Amino acid sequence: MTDKKIRVLVAKPGLDGHDRGAKVIARALRDSGMEVIYTGLRQTPEMIAEAALQEDVDAVGLSILSGAHLTLVPRITQLIRANGQDDVRIFVGGIIPDEDVPKLKEMGVDGVYGPGSPTHAIIDDIRKLVNDAA
């Protein structure tokens, strides 16, 4: 399909209270032609996996500022895989210490982006990984 749209779930797990970063990413992805499903604040891992399933997304972007990434991310990836969505790419953005990046990658995360990351880098990575998976 020439116009197969890339669909991305942008989610904000955890309890920290603002979603400015997530909204910036959502808009940047939209401006690059993707369809972004935005779910709002304080999503549990179960809610995120359920939304990823119902929306049949190609990728899930998680915005995590709380520092809880090492507990949230494995839970979310497990749930998504348990639903049978083996191809869904997973991206994490937020405040992630350097030493945690390899750990996240081991948990199945495809890309990690700190606060200064240019949005075009994220967009390019999503495009590339999703098209490879297809």
Partner 1 sequence: MSLQDSVLRGDRLAISRLLTEVENDTTAGQAALNELFTHTGRAHLVGITGAPGTGKSSLVNQLALHYRKAPQPLKVAIVAVDPSSPFTGGAVLGDRVRMRELSGDSGVFIRSMATRGSLGGLALATAGMTQVLDAAGFDVILIETVGAGQSEVEIAKLAHSVLVVDVPGLGDDVQAIKAGILEIADILVLNKADRPGVEAAERALLGMLKLGHPTKHLVQHHNHLEEVLAPVDAHVDDWLIPIRRTVATEGEGLPELLEVLAAHKAHLQNSGDWQRRERSRLHTQLQDLVKQTLMAGWRSNVTDAQYADALDQLVERKLSPRQALQALLP
In the complex, the residues that contact partner 1 under the rule CB under 8 A are 1, 3-5, 26-27, 29-40, 43-44, 46-47, 50-51, 53-56, 83-85
**Cβ neighbour number for residue 84 with a 10 Å cutoff:** 9
User: Strands 35-38 and 59-64: what pairing?
Assistant: unpaired
Burial class (CB in 10 A: 0-12, 13-18, 19+), 134: exposed
Question: Least separation, in Å, of the C-beta of 130 and partner 1?
Answer: 13
98 Cβ neighbours under 8 A, 6+ residues apart: none
Distance separating alpha carbons of residues 95 and 70, to the nearest angstrom: 12
Closest to partner 1 by CB, 66 or 85: 85
* Encoded amino acid at 84, one letter: G
Question: Least separation, in Å, of the C-beta of 13 and partner 1?
Answer: 13
DSSP 8-class letter at 81: H
Closest to partner 1 by CB, 23 or 103: 23
Closest to partner 1 by CB, 35 or 97: 35
Closest to partner 1 by CB, 34 or 64: 34
Question: Least separation, in Å, of the C-beta of 112 and partner 1?
Answer: 23
Question: Least separation, in Å, of the C-beta of 92 and partner 1?
Answer: 20
